[in-house]
Amino acid sequence: MNKAVLDFEKPIFELESKISEMRQYADKLDIADEITRLERKVKKLKESVYGDLTRWQKVQLARHPERPYTLDYIYLMASDFIELHGDRQCKDDKSIVGGFAKIDEHKVMIIGHQKGRDTKSNVYRNFGMPNPEGYRKALRLMKLAEKFNRPVITMLDTPGAYPGLEAEQRGQAEAIARNLLEMSRLKVPVIVVIIGEGASGGALGIGVGDRILMLENCWYSVISPESCSSILWKSWDFKEQAAEALRLTAPDLLQQKIIDRIVPEPLGGAHTNYEAAAKNLKTAILEELNQLLKLKTEKLLDLRFSKFAKMGVWHE
Amino acid sequence: MAWFKRSKENIASDSTKLELPDGLWEKCPGCGEIIHKKQLEMNFWTCTKCEHHFRIGSSEYISILFDKNSFRENDRKMRSADPLGFVDSKKYSDRVNETMKKTGLSDAVRTGTGKIEGREVSFACMDFSFIGGSMGSVVGEKISRAIDRAYRHRIPMIIISASGGARMMEGAYSLMQMAKTSSRLARLAEEGIPYFSILTDPTTGGTTASYAMLGDINIAEPKALIGFAGPRVIKQTIGKELPEGFQSSEFLLENGFIDLIVQRKDLRSKLVSLIDFCK
């Protein structure tokens, strides 16, 4: 078995492999009852394990190497996808993909971070860490969507904007800042979905919109638990505590009124059933989109403005 | 390896640490010159010998830029609410209270309106001494309201940044302040009201990646550290030494992200010219 198994999932996978082993002997031996019993046990175990994940375990699920990425969702949810490339200034950043697509009858622009599956494709995708040209490509595509009056859907899944030499030279900060400003007044509906990791400015750089959706097992915060641990605890060993302290899961963010909706994942995480995960996401996107399309542009922009204006907590 | 262990610290002529009496004197981190505080203040807190720009706070910038007694501070009482109940090696709420006592500030930014040679402006100035000038809900909200004042009264907006980035202890709330302030600036821009961003040492992270980089005119003080990722992180990522002057004001000017590098002593007059040009 070459499946990537997380620590806390081990008991489940052990039981599951035992069951599949027993199935091979099922015609020769009378063990059907035993198999049913074990299957019931697995189901219960799954419910208890996945129903009670710690924040750090959710971070691990969000990074699961088999988790569906932006292109997977595009192919499962949409049709007629035409990928568009390049920022028209410098190059084509492979860690952000985007293009025209159809979700049912809706013609939309979909843009998202893209990770790779193995070493080779991860190098090609720069591990989903964009350079400035990635954000500029995203902005170019958003402007294109605005021009042709098509809603924008963005999918966030990045360990962060790339902290490299050339990235700084070409204005990583400026590229992200520009996107925040432009997305806040883009004259078409924008739906943002966090599908994996939402690491700080690198994620937010394509994350300003009218609705913020988040898949069940994702994280979104100002910093990764590891970096937070290294800065505040002066050691890499406190990532679990940092994850707890940062309150970075979907239920946390719903309570903080930073996201609008949690999209349920199949039991065990989106990677266990791509189709089911994509189906849930598509349903949620269509529901939100149909609401947003009823709004006049001016109203849409007013609501988007006040949505972000309300974020934060202070005393005075 | 030495045969004998030294029982005392090595005393070399260049390692003498001058204990300066009464805190009247400051040592220049640039050239080591010892300067009297009064003289430093007269010289806009820049070294009389090497022009090194000392890190200063909002009070100093207010005294440098504004006409006497013209600055009116707003939202002075706004303070952090510790929305996550954040605890690391220390409770965040304790950290805030201690910093407030130590610095006499209520958070990492002060905002208000005032006159620069008779010209009314809305102003925000960050204080690096307050938890590294980090941006949490209070900084985001105060800056947003300052931008609103510029918008309502149709007066120029000036923000002086000095910040390590978004404040970790408020999690995603801090991150959202980037979006909040940027959307305010979008609205200001649509009204044709000028915004001058002044970047000082250091300006990094989420602060650079939001309002600090969005000025109609971006001005930097000489030799300030300005960037998105911190130099240490970049060094770790690329696994080699960073080139001399990387992420300095001069580097940003060269790469096209800063309009002007202005010495602190010229800041006021330069702003006056720019405001008059945009009006």
Interface subset of B 15-44, CB within 8 angstroms of A: none
- Which pLDDT score, from 0 to 100, does residue B47 have? 95
pLDDT digits (tens, 9 = 90+) for A45-73: 999 999 999 999 999 999 999 999 999 99
Q: Is A256's CB within 8 Å of B172's CB?
A: yes
CA end-to-end distance (rounded Å), chain A: 58
Mean local confidence (pLDDT), B82-110: 96
Quickly list DSSP for B195-253.
EEEEEEEEE-HHHHTTGGG--SEEEE-TT-BB-SS-HHHHHHHHTSPPPTTTTBHHHHH
Rounded to the nearest angstrom, the minimum Cα separation between A160 and chain B is 10
- Dihedral angle of Cα A260, A188, B171, B95, to the nearest 10 degrees: -120
Question: How is residue A8 written in tokens?
Answer: 């806390």
For residue B136, pLDDT over 50 is answered with: yes
Rounded CA separation A236/A230 (Å):
5
Interface subset of A 177-196, CB within 8 angstroms of B: 177-178, 180-182, 184-185
Question: How is residue A52 written in tokens?
Answer: 């009670």
pLDDT band per the 50, 70, 90 thresholds, residue B279: confident
- Which pLDDT score, from 0 to 100, does residue B89 have? 85
Q: How far is CA A148 from CA A100, A141, A151, in A?
A: 11, 11, 9
Q: Which DSSP symbol is given to B46?
A: B
Amino acid present at A313: V
- Which pLDDT score, from 0 to 100, does residue B28 have? 94
Q: How far is CA B47 from CA B31, B37, B207, in A?
A: 8, 11, 27
ipTM: 0.95
Question: How is residue B117 written in tokens?
Answer: 């040679």
Domains annotated on chain B, with CATH: 21-54 (no CATH), 56-278 (3.90.226.10)
Q: Where are the beta strands (DSSP E) in chain A?
A: 79-83, 96-103, 106-113, 152-158, 190-199, 211-215, 219-221, 261-263, 314-315
- Which sign, positive or negative, has the C-alpha torsion B64, B96, A238, A159? negative
Mean local confidence (pLDDT), A256-283: 97
Mean local confidence (pLDDT), B16-25: 65
- Residue keyed to tokens 């350079």: A131
Contacts of B18 (CB under 8 A, 6+ apart): B27, B34
Q: Is B213's CB within 8 Å of A309's CB?
A: no
Instruction: Answer yes or no: are the C-beta atoms of B118 and B173 closer than 8 Å.
Output: no
Instruction: Answer yes or no: are the C-beta atoms of B161 and B196 closer than 8 Å.
Output: no
Mean local confidence (pLDDT), A280-284: 98
Q: Is B78's CB within 8 Å of A171's CB?
A: no
| Three-state secondary structure of A73-106 | HHHHHCEEEEECCCCCCCCCCCCEEEEEEEECCE
Partners of residue B243 on adjacent β-strands: none
pLDDT digits (tens, 9 = 90+) for B152-189: 999 999 999 999 999 999 999 999 999 999 999 999 99
- Which pLDDT score, from 0 to 100, does residue A165 have? 95
Q: Is A312's CB within 8 Å of B171's CB?
A: no
A251 inside 8 A of chain B by CB = no
Q: Which DSSP symbol is given to B53?
A: B
Instruction: Answer yes or no: are the C-beta atoms of A256 and A214 closer than 8 Å.
Output: no
Which of B168, B173, B178 lies nearest to residue A204, judging by beta carbons?
Answer: B178
pLDDT digits (tens, 9 = 90+) for A174-213: 999 999 999 999 999 999 999 999 999 999 999 999 999 9
Rounded CA separation A159/A200 (Å):
8
Rounded CA separation A131/B212 (Å):
19
On chain B, the residues whose CB falls within 8 A of the CB of A167 are: 228-229
A39 inside 8 A of chain B by CB = no
Bridging pattern class, strands B72-74 and B79-80:
unpaired
Instruction: Report which of A157, A128, A158, A243 is spatially closest to residue B86, judged by C-alpha positions.
Output: A243
Question: Mean pLDDT lowest for which of B5-9, B48-52, B191-195?
Answer: B5-9
- Which pLDDT score, from 0 to 100, does residue B11 have? 57
Contacts of B26 (CB under 8 A, 6+ apart): B20, B34, B35, B37, B40, B54
pLDDT band per the 50, 70, 90 thresholds, residue B14: low
Rounded CA separation B200/B219 (Å):
9
Instruction: Report which of A278, A179, A29 is spatially closest to residue B209, judged by C-alpha positions.
Output: A179
On chain B, the residues whose CB falls within 8 A of the CB of A184 are: 179, 182-183, 186
Bridging pattern class, strands A79-83 and A96-103:
antiparallel
Question: How is residue A135 written in tokens?
Answer: 């954000």
Q: What is the mean pLDDT of chain A?
A: 95
Which of A164, A245, A311 lies nearest to residue B87, judging by beta carbons?
Answer: A245
Rounded to the nearest angstrom, the minimum Cα separation between A133 and chain B is 15
Rounded CA separation A226/B233 (Å):
13
Mean local confidence (pLDDT), A284-308: 98
Amino acid present at A224: S
Which of A171, A181, A312 lies nearest to residue B173, judging by beta carbons?
Answer: A312
Residue B49's CB is within 10 A of a number of other CB atoms, namely 13
Largest Cα–Cα distance in chain B?
Answer: 75
Which of A174, A247, A315 lies nearest to residue B84, judging by beta carbons?
Answer: A247
Give the residue on A whose Cα is nearest the Cα of B165.
A222
pLDDT digits (tens, 9 = 90+) for A131-144: 999 999 999 999 99
pLDDT band per the 50, 70, 90 thresholds, residue B19: low
Which of A181, A220, A246 lies nearest to residue B182, judging by beta carbons?
Answer: A181
A214 inside 8 A of chain B by CB = no
Q: Is A221's CB within 8 Å of B87's CB?
A: no
Partners of residue B112 on adjacent β-strands: B73, B123
- Which pLDDT score, from 0 to 100, does residue B13 have? 52
Mean local confidence (pLDDT), A238-265: 97
Mean local confidence (pLDDT), A94-109: 98
Instruction: Report which of A213, A211, A197 is spatially closest to residue A246, judged by C-alpha positions.
Output: A197
